[in-house]
Amino acid sequence: METRTDAAVASVTAARPNSLSPSRASDFMQCPLLYRFRVIDKLPEKPSEAATRGTLVHAVLERLFDAPAAERTAPRAKALVPGQWDRLREAKPELAELFADDAEGERLTRWLADAERLVERWFTLEDPTRLEPAERELFVQAELESGLKLRGIIDRVDVAPTGEVRIVDYKTGKAPRPEYAEGALFQMKFYALMVWRLKGVLPRRLQLVYLGSGDVITYDPVPADLERVERKLLALWEAIVAATESGDWRPRPTKLCGWCDHRAVCPEFGGAPPPYPLAVRPPESGGDEQGRMGPG
């Protein structure tokens, strides 16, 4: 009688990637093996305090706009933090482990206070009483002429009375140094490209609001720039498809490896990845596309 191997069992649920988001594109550019672990193997990752705080702050800023303009104050926004944290825990029970060892609740208290400070700082950067977002936490999906499907969630879309569109993204960390600003804008240009291809409207402005440092970075895209982004995404997708078909996912060591949850199964740290769950094609001669893909 024929028995299934672990890889065969995994292949029942594993699926080939069929779309690209800003986060997953960044994963592949950072480390192709990380992309595989997250997209194909779907390995679990522990929740982090920083990422969860970001989710909480985003939820508070989204909900604040439910109130009439005159009531969108800093005290009201801070008062939303505990309730949104409760809702977040209900939606994701695994977050309970973040503070499982915090018997006295002191670390949780500090963490919530940090979230409140980030929310309060936002009021020094934007005035929500003068904003009426057209969209909040907008899921966007677009298909390019090539057939590549793009998807993402935009924090906020503002539309001026004249029809001009501004895409806004909140970041709870600090603004990057100028030499790294282009990498930070990649996500925003990705969003702009989707809106442009889907609606035929070129966003007038892209705006990154860094609550961790109190900085605002803006960029006004032009068609030629977004066309370059589109070409880059197509090349990136070709590399992802090639790696998916060959099963050849290379690790790319960087300083970020210290924060990776998957070091135990990474060859760079003496580990072995789980059996590849997808069928692979025979290797072909030629260059290493994956090795040539860089972050810039």
Q: What CATH number is given to the structural domain containing 217?
A: 3.90.320.10
Amino acid at 79: A
Q: Is residue 220 part of a domain?
A: yes
pLDDT the model gives residue 285? 57
Kindly report, residue by residue over 64-78, the tens digit of the pLDDT.
999 999 999 999 999
Report phi then psi at 219, rounded to 5. Answer: -150, 135
Token readout for 67 is 């109130």
Closest among 223, 286, 288 to 249, alpha carbons compared: 288
Of residues 289 and 45, more confidence is placed in: 45
Query: Which regions of the chain does DSSP assign to beta strands (E)?
Result: 135-143, 149-159, 165-171, 205-210, 215-219
Q: Which residue has tokens 């009021």?
A: 123
Mean pLDDT computed over 158-174: 96
Q: Is residue 245 part of a domain?
A: no
Q: Is residue 80 part of a domain?
A: no
Q: What is the rounded distance in angstroms from the CA atom of residue 84 to the CA atom of residue 66?
A: 14
Instruction: Provide the domain count of the chain.
Output: 1
Instruction: Decide if 98 contacts 115 (C-beta within 8 A).
Output: no
Q: Is residue 270 part of a domain?
A: no
Q: Is residue 30 part of a domain?
A: no
Measured over all CA atoms, what is the biggest interatomic distance in the chain, rounded to whole angstroms? 72
Q: How many residues does the structure list for the chain?
A: 296
Q: What is the rounded distance in angstroms from the CA atom of residue 94 to the CA atom of residue 45?
A: 11
Read off the pTM. Answer: 0.87
Instruction: Decide if 218 contacts 210 (C-beta within 8 A).
Output: no
Confidence at 11, pLDDT banded by 50, 70, 90: very low
Q: Is residue 122 part of a domain?
A: no
Q: What is the rounded distance in angstroms from the CA atom of residue 212 to the CA atom of residue 287?
A: 42
Q: What is the rounded distance in angstroms from the CA atom of residue 111 to the CA atom of residue 160?
A: 36
pLDDT the model gives residue 41? 97
Average pLDDT, the chain: 91
Closest among 199, 140, 124, 190 to 165, alpha carbons compared: 199
Instruction: Decide if 283 contacts 246 (C-beta within 8 A).
Output: yes
Q: What is the rounded distance in angstroms from the CA atom of residue 238 to the CA atom of residue 267?
A: 24
Instruction: Decide if 113 contacts 66 (C-beta within 8 A).
Output: no
Token readout for 111 is 């963490």
Closest among 177, 178, 193 to 225, alpha carbons compared: 193
Instruction: Decide if 104 contacts 113 (C-beta within 8 A).
Output: no
pLDDT the model gives residue 283? 66
pLDDT the model gives residue 13? 63
Token readout for 8 is 């065969």
Q: Is residue 138 part of a domain?
A: yes
Residue 169, domain extent: 134-230
Q: Is residue 76 part of a domain?
A: no
